[in-house]
Amino acid sequence: MYNIKYMGKYKGESQILNGQLPKQAIQYKEPNNITSVFLMGGLISLPIIIILIVLIIIKIQVGNISFENINAENLLISTMIAIVLSIVSLIVHEFLHAFSYPKNVVKEIWVKPDELAAFVYCNAPVSKKKFIWIVLCPNVVLGFIPYVLWIQGVFDFNPLVSHAIIIFAMMNIISGIGDYLNFYLTIKQVPKNALVQNYGFHTYWFLKK
Using the predicted structure, report yes or no on whether residue 8 has a pLDDT greater than 90.
no
Nearest to 200 by CA among 6, 4, 3, 27: 27
Domain assignments of the chain as residue spans, ordered by start: 4-11+26-60+73-206
pLDDT tens digits along 131-184: 999 999 999 999 999 999 999 989 988 888 888 999 999 999 998 898 999 999
Give the number of other CB atoms < 10 A from CB of residue 187: 10
pLDDT tens digits along 101-124: 999 999 999 988 777 678 899 999
pTM for the model = 0.88
Contact of 90 with 175, CB cutoff 8 Å: yes
pLDDT tens digits along 31-61: 877 778 888 988 999 999 999 999 999 888 8
